[in-house]
Structure 1
């Protein structure tokens, strides 16, 4: 298995929905138009491919100078524990550079994962949650 990482391709909404559903990432996968808009308005997308199959994605929004919000990190469960998630984070970090902070909101099931791949837990975050 050779995983290829790409920066120059945006997966189709169908590929994204399949990956998100399989990985258990809670996103509005019943609304492909919304998924499409999410990706169209993100300015850093790193993907992982096994041949033509999308097996991982890191979707971010960044200003390239100060901060980068890692909005989604998803890995196909059949490929977990193979380092794909860490590699997606590493490529994101490489692209934004060391002067840019990467931050994220974790799903509850990933709270123990992020410290293992270099993130520091913060207790200073605030949110206004979406209504739908």
Structure 2
């Protein structure tokens, strides 16, 4: 298997949705909302992708300032390519694009929660999420 990795290589919305569907991440993303998915792809400012020839088999999609914080929003690897080191390589390549003080931040999928501690991430229980439609009150 000869996988190539690319930094900020253009991907289509259909390629992105197809990868999410072929990984476990599609279950937790609004893949049936095309407008949302188009916005997700077009507004990311760091995309590291893994390719098996013309097939997108992995992605690390981030929003970052490159200096202080990088939010790794999506890390997805096609089910047929998992456990081959692609996910780790995507994260390493993401980290290589960042400044020396930039933190890599993510919210783990429930099934992957134990994975990140094993590869060097520190657990932080201070994350807060405001769901769409929720009102900020006093």
**TM-score normalised per structure 2:** 0.90
The runs of at least 4 aligned residues of structure 1 exceeding 3 Å deviation read none
Alignment length, in residue pairs? 132
CA contact (8 A) 2:60 2:91 kept: yes
Q: Deviations over 1:2-61 (max 9, x none)?
A: 110001312111111111011121111112221111111111000000000000000000
Structure 2 match to 1:8:
8
Shift, 1:71, TM fit? 0.4
Q: Deviations over 1:80-122 (max 9, x none)?
A: 1100000000000000132100101111111011112221111
Structure 1 match to 2:49:
47
Q: 1:81 aligns with which of 69, 80, 83?
A: 83
Structure 2 match to 1:68:
70
Whichever of the two has the greater Rg, that structure is: 2
* SS of equivalent residue, structure 1 residue 58: strand
* SS of equivalent residue, structure 2 residue 111: helix
* SS of equivalent residue, structure 1 residue 17: helix
Distance in 2 between the 1:113 and 1:10 partners? 28
* SS of equivalent residue, structure 1 residue 96: coil
**TM-score normalised per structure 1:** 0.94
| RMSD, aligned α-carbons | 1.4
- Name stretches of at least 5 consecutive residues in structure 2 with no aligned partner: 134-138
Kindly report which structure 2 residues correspond to 1:1-132, keeping only aligned pairs within 5 A, or say none.
1-25=1-25, 26-131=28-133
